[in-house]
Amino acid sequence: MRVLLLAAAGAALFGQTVQEARAFLDAAEADLLKQSNYLNRAQWLQSTYINPDSEMQAALANERYIESAKGYAKAATKFDKLKLPPELARKMTLLKISLTLATPSNRNEATELTQLVAKMESAYGSGKFCRDAAADKGKCLDLTAISSLMATSRDAKELADLWQGWHRISRPLRKDYTRFVELGNKGAKELGFADKGAMWRSKYDMTPDAFAKEVDRLWEQVRPLYVKLHAYTRMRLREKYGASVVPANGPIPAHLTGNMWAQSWDNIYDVLEPKNAAKNFDLTEKLKERKLNEIEMVRYGERFFQSLGFAPLPKTFYERSLFVKPQDREVVCHASAWDVDNDEDLRIKMCIQITGEEFAVIHHELGHNIYQRAYRQLPYLFRDSANDGFHEAVGDTIALSITPEYLVKVGLLDKPTDPSGDIGLLLKQALAKVSFLPFGLMIDQWRWKVYSGEITPANYNAKWWELRRKYQGVDAPGRGEGDFDPAAKYHVAANVPYTRYFLAHILQFQFHRALSQAAGCKDPLHRCSIYDSKEAGKRLNDMLALGLSKPWPDALQAITGKREMDATAIKDYFAPLEKWLDEQLKGQPVGW
């Protein structure tokens, strides 16, 4: 292959001077940029036109890119003994740790691995649950339909049926995933990593072990608040469904949380709503009252970023994005943001529902696009976020500014809600954000242990539920090794690292606190909105524009003035709720 020959030539010809190192990096970046653009287009087609041909094209493009990146990573080691200027040294490091999937050098195994990834993602995207095994396709439910039912049904038996039905789609992936782990580890070890998990943990400007400890430190900062939220949720679910369904002091049944993975619980706010609390607005109702369509939902998100001083999205964004699920073909509805040409071809892909939750998701995805455009002038290897948690945090930071005051300014509320209803607003926000934290942590805890061999194929599912009980305090009785529940989550089936989402849920509150201060907000943190603050927008852009050119503590300092991730902003944001939870839980069991 031409790229591998180029990489090999780089290894042979360069390695003695800084100028040669620079020439090697320039050639690598130019080639990887070109291949990245091709891969992005192939993957876009795979996600928006699911069929064997698009799947194969995406697999081939992915294989080509990975082989190239891996070839350059190996060639970069030839410069290890050369003292380089900081920018070049950072690029050399990034070449070595850039991949989330490293293919083995054996060509057949490399092809097999990339095809496995494409196959598993497509199987997930086209997954269906048919209540009647003999039902025709028209009577089957996809994940969008199942998720809608799980969010609204309060029938415990129906919820269990839906939960079990979706989790059956991942059973056939167990064999493929086992082989995927074997080949992925082989590729990572060829790059000098202990295993694929260590390769992932090397991306955070610290050693893999140090990063694992950092994640544990952040979790311990927020765990006490989560445990209280869990106890309150369990208490109210027990009142709703009875002692025979919900234990007094054990894990919460996963299917009762309003979400397929129990990763967020805000869909069951109606069950958990504070008794005798002031009624809050329902953003979903407000959006439907105004008969908004999918494009108009997106326009609200775009205008938020414009209010901070960012330029409008390019015309092609609205021409090329996927906003509505097509009726004529299968697509991956999982929301995602795309920078197709590493320049101005920005897009989002999601099957938008007219709900308050999707309103926030749109802001989140546009946050990715705004970040992507902010660093587009940097060299290719620096066109990414400071760490992957930063990318996920930016849009959610904006979503934290979707306050009653903001909704009044944009015409979605007639007047701000009374502060007496803030406990309800905070509870709903905690059910979306705080409930997510242990789930965001445990997925990669499971995968790191799988990649290291601590978890073996013989106990994939048992260890999955062991970790879910440990971190989340949720359970699903009757699961066995005939099931493969991890791959019922998109990010496992599609090989997407997940710790980024945990970090994002920490960072977004830290960002929000700092930006609210920059905006001059004097209200309680949960009432602050940075909408229309050019000063907050400048602070945000100062961080975005750095991309991956500096270690993440530098980027964190640019936006917050601090160099350490800090979960205390979550405690600050939810302080009134935590005090209220303490009152509700007097005499009640806490923990599981």
Tell me, yes or no, if 491 is annotated catalytic: yes
113, containing H or E segment? helix 107-125
Going from the C-alpha of 214 to that of each of 63, 218, 497, 552, the distances in angstroms are 33, 6, 17, 14
* The two structure tokens encoding residue 586: 């007097």
Quote the DSSP letter at residue 480: -
Instruction: Measure the CA–CA gap between 398 and 251, rounded to whole angstroms.
Output: 33
**Per-residue b or e along 324-344, where b marks 16 or more CB atoms closer than 10 Å to that residue's CB:** eeeeeebbbbbbbbbbbebee
Q: How many Å separate Cα 478 from the centre of its chain?
A: 29
Query: What are the residue ranges of helices labelled H in 153-207?
Result: 156-167, 174-190, 196-201
**Residue of 89, 335, 462, 575 marked catalytic:** 335
Instruction: Measure the CA–CA gap between 430 and 420, rounded to whole angstroms.
Output: 17
**Residue linked to tokens 């269906």:** 128
Tell me, yes or no, if 490 is annotated catalytic: no
Tell me, yes or no, if 368 is annotated catalytic: yes
User: For residues 578 and 228, is the Cβ–Cβ distance under 8 A?
Assistant: yes
**Residue of 204, 269, 380, 501 marked catalytic:** 501
CA atoms within 13 A on the CB side of 55: 19
Tell me, yes or no, if 254 is annotated catalytic: no
Give the Cβ contact number of residue 190 at 10 Å.
Answer: 16
**Residue of 167, 368, 505, 512 marked catalytic:** 368
Instruction: Measure the CA–CA gap between 68 and 438, rounded to whole angstroms.
Output: 36
Instruction: Measure the CA–CA gap between 401 and 415, rounded to whole angstroms.
Output: 16
27, containing H or E segment? helix 18-48
**Residue of 167, 230, 255, 334 marked catalytic:** 334
Instruction: Measure the CA–CA gap between 312 and 370, rounded to whole angstroms.
Output: 10
The DSSP bridge pattern shows strands 346-349 and 474-475 to be unpaired
Instruction: Report the phi/psi class of residue 205: left, alpha or beta, with left for phi > 0 and alpha for psi in -120 to 50.
Output: left
> Per this entry, what is the length of the chain?
592
Instruction: Measure the CA–CA gap between 502 and 438, rounded to whole angstroms.
Output: 8
Instruction: Measure the CA–CA gap between 485 and 489, rounded to whole angstroms.
Output: 8
Instruction: Measure the CA–CA gap between 488 and 379, rounded to whole angstroms.
Output: 37
Tell me, yes or no, if 365 is annotated catalytic: yes
Instruction: Measure the CA–CA gap between 379 and 383, rounded to whole angstroms.
Output: 7
The DSSP bridge pattern shows strands 346-349 and 336-339 to be antiparallel
Instruction: Measure the CA–CA gap between 18 and 84, rounded to whole angstroms.
Output: 6
User: For residues 346 and 364, is the Cβ–Cβ distance under 8 A?
Assistant: no
Going from the C-alpha of 362 to that of each of 299, 341, 352, 366, the distances in angstroms are 9, 21, 8, 6
Quote the DSSP letter at residue 141: B
**Residue of 358, 392, 405, 578 marked catalytic:** 392
Secondary structure (3-state) at 49? coil
481, containing H or E segment? none
Tell me, yes or no, if 391 is annotated catalytic: no
**Residue of 364, 391, 505, 512 marked catalytic:** 364
User: For residues 497 and 200, is the Cβ–Cβ distance under 8 A?
Assistant: yes
Instruction: Measure the CA–CA gap between 444 and 578, rounded to whole angstroms.
Output: 28
**Residue of 365, 432, 518, 573 marked catalytic:** 365
Catalytic positions, please?
334-335, 364-365, 368, 392, 491, 501
